[in-house]
Amino acid sequence: MCKPESTSEKRKEWVAGKNSSNQSTPMTREQARAASLESMLSALRANGLKVTPQRLAILRELAGDLTHPTAMDLFERLRPGMPTMSFATVYNTLAALTEQGLCVARALEVGPVRFDPNMTPHDHAVCDRCGLVVDLPLPEAHAASALPGFAVRVVERIYRGSCAACASREGHAGGGLQATGE
């Protein structure tokens, strides 16, 4: 069904990352979202797909969405306003964006892949309990002790644990993941 990130990210990540750079030219959330939406629209056209109202709605929903939604999440969010839209439309649109390097299909846990419009290489924190996924900037010194002959493209880590809300609900205050940024 979904392509894991290893086959779909390729090198486009570095090219497309210009829209979500958090270093050289800081953008507001809204600017980043608009830029991301623009690139996604071009990608659809480059794929020979017409920008239908349904596809536009899918793009709008994903651009700037930091929750790493699954295809089903997006489908369920959009369905009330677009009752004729099929899951295949959602899935195929996401597949086209992934193919063009404009979002990443991430296997962060067992289950369906999650779609990530943040093309800047980053780490993730994943809550074991509620499934919250938070983007974390890469540490400066991310020691990539490469295997001999292995060309490292990117190193990304997944921090697993309990988010602040889940940790405090269970009375382990202070031990959980900090949900920063969103």
Q: Which residues bind Zn ion (CB under 5 A)?
A: 116, 118, 127, 129-130, 132, 135, 163, 166
Of residues 49 and 121, the one with the C-beta less far from Zn ion:
121
**Cβ neighbours of 41 (radius 10 Å):** 17
Of residues 82 and 138, the one with the C-beta less far from Zn ion:
138
CB of 105 vs Zn ion, minimal distance in Å: 11
Vertex 141: Cα angle to 137 and 147 (nearest 5):
110
Give residue 101's region: left, alpha or beta (phi > 0; psi -120 to 50).
Answer: left
CB of 25 vs Zn ion, minimal distance in Å: 20
Of residues 57 and 134, the one with the C-beta less far from Zn ion:
134
Pairing mode, strands 104-106 and 114-116: antiparallel
Name the burial class of residue 180, with classes exposed (0-12), middle (13-18) and buried (19+) by CB atoms within 10 angstroms of its CB: exposed
CB of 124 vs Zn ion, minimal distance in Å: 5
Residue 9 CA to residue 104 CA, distance in Å, equals 6
Residue 56 CA to residue 41 CA, distance in Å, equals 8
Of residues 82 and 179, the one with the C-beta less far from Zn ion:
179
Q: Phi and psi for 118 in degrees, rounded to 5?
A: -85, 105
CB of 147 vs Zn ion, minimal distance in Å: 25
Beta bridge partners of 126: 133, 160
CB of 104 vs Zn ion, minimal distance in Å: 7
Of residues 58 and 132, the one with the C-beta less far from Zn ion:
132
